[in-house]
Chain A
Amino acid sequence: MFKNNWWKYLGVLLVLYSLVAGLYIPLGPGIMEVSPSELQQGETNAVLITGHGTHFKDNQSSLKVWIKQGEKNFCANSVTIQDNEKLAATFDVPVLGKEPLHLVVNNDADGNVVFDNAFWFNASQKGARVTEVATCDIAVKNRKSAETSFPFLKILFQTIRNLFYHVPMWFAMIAVLVGGMVYSIKYLRRGRREDDIAASQITATAMFLGILGIVTGMIWANFTWGQPWPDDPKLNSVAIGMLMYSAYFILRGAIDDEEKRARVAAVTNIFFFPIFIVLIFILPRMTDSLHPGNGGNPGFSSYDLDETMRMVFYPAVLGWILVGYWIAQLKTRVKKLEVLQDE
């Protein structure tokens, strides 16, 4: 029993691990807001910084605050800590170039907490009082958060965890589709009826996973992109791909002759798979897409997907692939029993 089914147990364990770890590991520290977000050039600026999950007060001694512009850094000349998530800092800001301004807060517990494009600056500089800025020391002990945590990203915030639940649906769908295609090829080679049944049931399971992917994606998109179905090439491609595969099932239903149906379905299935891959992976990359990894947007893997994320994400993908194959196998076996019953 266990010898043949070990991969099913493994799949369940991996998914369970991803559920627990993906929710248990906290979100890392980050900066929610700075006010004002406009810097007066050539003046001394007082800025109020609001963090989230940060430890400003607990690590007062190691706290450093600076503004980063390209290679230049402007350290805060005074910092007043209100509590763990609130501090006020004053900066001497000279006349600045056009490059974006980032804010960095560092302490030993939180590591580098970066707020990209934190400030913009006023266009006019009347009577620049501050002309030169002293070099400042930005050597820090920890660049990374001391606590194991997921990265704090604007817009996503806590929903970054959805990466472990939404994305594996698609990975599992594609992995299961590959299985369906393999059985279609097997059918064409050997003409065995069992292979045709397996191909159809595996493809049906892939459709089920795809629908779960669409539904979970719509819930996530509604929060992060403002609407459940934004005008995004990846979404539209996936919709076309799913319709294509529903044509596969309509085709199966339309042909009465068993052998003919199996052969036509097998050929269609083999042709649909590369079209589907082109639709969801290649075409969205050629235009602008909201999805990471497409059209100018960096993929999660380039810098957002840090080690902690990988630790949960890869097991989740593998786990869902295994569970997907398990469901497909059960469906195939039931269908075989049913078909044999009819004879």
Chain B
Amino acid sequence: MTLALETRAVVKKYPAGAGTVTAVDEVSFSLQRGEFVALVGPSGSGKTTMLAMLATLLRPTSGEIIIDGQDLTSMSQAERTRFRRRRIGFTFQANNLVSYLTGLENVELMLRLNGELNAAGRKRARELLVLLGMEERMRALPRQLSGGQQQRVAIARSLINQPSLVLADEPTASLDTERAFQVVETLANLVHEQDRAGIMVTHDLRMVEFADRIIHMLDGRVERTITPQDDLVCLADPAACTVIPMDTLGFEGAGMAEPAG
């Protein structure tokens, strides 16, 4: 296993009135290539801020973020933009696609931005979309695609540049159950198969079964790291849970949810 990501005592503070608010407090963890991790926690726990820092969209107040051996915190704005374009794949909760580009053009956009839109790149984009079950719809515009199809195109776009790190922010937020499972399972499988490192922020308890690890954040800190195998039973049956207080996980309707599969 190769180390893809390492965070060392990462802190992010925001000015608030006369003082500051600490959104992320001394967070340290690491990710191996081929590992898919779910980042969970209630609203305000700092997970989205953490994701934004991993995506080089925010600078940490202190600490280090190292991806593929490169410290992001010492990079200039232009270097971070270039790094993000080449080494990080991103899937958002919504507004994922450029509305006036077809699915295929959205995927190819990443190749264009990196100056790699050649015959091989085009072929790779088509193959990736076929792999994601989009062979019939790759020339449709986003408004002609369902939410699940849009997210699959977004996943293809996040993977087309063969990034080291794939980030997904609530990728199933606007999807029904069936499509949500399809999307996350596909994302997890591709991260495993293509040997990327993947982090998914989610509020949906059912989706963590596809993660190799769950990093649980609370009040800006990593509360604990758990594995779905250990804890899905606990999550599904609060009465049997002796390890994790369910209400701290930040899952929507966690007490009623059934573990998938």
User: Are A and B a genuine interacting pair, yes or no?
Assistant: no
Measured CB to CB, the residues of A under 8 A from B are none
Measured CB to CB, the residues of B under 8 A from A are none
